[in-house]
Amino acid sequence: MSKGIRDKVAIIGMGCTKFGEHWDKGAEDLLVESYVEAIADAGIEKKDIQAVWYGSCNDEYSFGKSAIALSQTLKLPFIPVTRVENMCATGSEAIRGAAYSIAAGVHDVCLAIGVEKLKDTGFGGLGEVAANSGLKGKLILPSYSGPGGFALLATKYFAKYGLSAEKGKEVLAMVSAKSHANGCLNPKAHLRKHITVEMVMKAPMIAWPLGLFDCCGVSDGSAAAIVCRADLAKNFRDDPVLIKAMQIAASSGEELMYQGSWDGSYVMTGAHCAKKTYEEAGIKNPREEIDMMEVHDCFSITELVTYEDLQISARGKAPDDVKDGFYNLDGKIPCQPDGGLKCFGHPIGASGLRMMYEMYKQLQGKADKRQLKDPKIGLTHNMGGVPYQNVVSINILGL
């Protein structure tokens, strides 16, 4: 019977660029920057890396297809390099591939790395959504937008749990303001300005009820991780971080095609993925056992419903936890201690690894002004797609 990869793989080095508008750098420059930091952090040389998993999503604009460009950029010595893509979970997919190879006993030391140059696309968002969904997507979703899809999630949530438009928007504004307060403390974040709840509520509307400050930005960036066998980790450093669980789930089609149990007020894939993740990690009560989180806050409503999908807040009770400061930096379970997508933007191939970078630094006690008090377990959550059809990746790291 399968037992997962709990405590079989360790992270011994990570690197992350500053996210932002890098008009003076190409994807190659960003990859080199995160890679150099990661191998220096691990105390290894290029020759120690046995295989690489590389994540990028928008190959038309970023770095092209295949893994050749990555191998040539890092001057890798004819080793296996695999390019992966899984929508917004691409960065998480890269480290999952590297970690699974280690856990399977195929390799001892691997590199996972991701990058995206979204600013070079010229789009204000992620580009033409329908074009990334194949021929069927072009036919049935010709005018679809990310903000529009998640706005529907917000209105359904408000209606189901009896939130007025004003009260609902106020809760979402508190989520965004919290993340910006954290991002101000992070020199690698793109957007480092305090915003108030009032500013969020008065911001220009994008797709009601989501205003400008309810949406994450568009950025360039890269992040990388060095993983190895857990029993070898202490040979490289005294404070390695262990992978406790790695799960990924994709929509079955039930949400979109059938009038089943899904009511549009949560993300069904996330709820299923969370259950499997906790089983693999041996977590019985996530509200008591998780110390911190980085979740996929592409929109403020996404973060709000994720609190519940992850079984941290009870269904319909996330607004109460937000108001109580439960997810603030000084709260019970800080969420987005680095500022999240809200302050970093979302260079797709890098975001999942960027989340893990924050958990890694926090667990080692190296998060500077954002440092939490003695965290032991951190969770990352990546979501690609829209509420009714998506892929969700959840990882748990610990000491």
Q: How many CA atoms lie within 13 A of 62 on its CB side?
A: 30
Do 222 and 16 meet the contact criterion of CB atoms below 8 Å apart? yes
**Which residue in 16, 88, 335, 343 is the catalytic one?**
88
Q: Is 299 left (phi over 0), alpha (psi -120 to 50) or beta?
A: beta
Do 158 and 168 meet the contact criterion of CB atoms below 8 Å apart? yes
Structure tokens at 182: 């954290």
Do 13 and 43 meet the contact criterion of CB atoms below 8 Å apart? yes
Closest CA to 154 of 176, 127, 132: 176
Structure tokens at 136: 């069927």
User: Which SS3 state, helix, strand or coil, does residue 300 take?
Assistant: helix
Do 383 and 298 meet the contact criterion of CB atoms below 8 Å apart? yes
Helix axes 268-281, 300-309, angle to 10 degrees: 50
**Which residue in 22, 107, 180, 346 is the catalytic one?**
346
Cα 153 from Cα 273, distance rounded (Å): 19
Cα 398 from Cα 378, distance rounded (Å): 6
DSSP structure class, residue 76: -
Q: How many CA atoms lie within 13 A of 10 on its CB side?
A: 21
What spatial distance separates the first Cα and last Cα of the chain, rounded to whole Å?
A: 25
Query: Does 88 participate in catalysis according to the annotation?
Result: yes
Cα 171 from Cα 163, distance rounded (Å): 10
- H or E stretch at 81: strand 81-84
User: Which SS3 state, helix, strand or coil, does residue 232 take?
Assistant: helix
Cα dihedral: 210, 212, 215, 217 (round 10): 170
Query: Does 190 participate in catalysis according to the annotation?
Result: no
Q: Give the residue numbers annotated as catalytic, written as ranges.
A: 88, 346
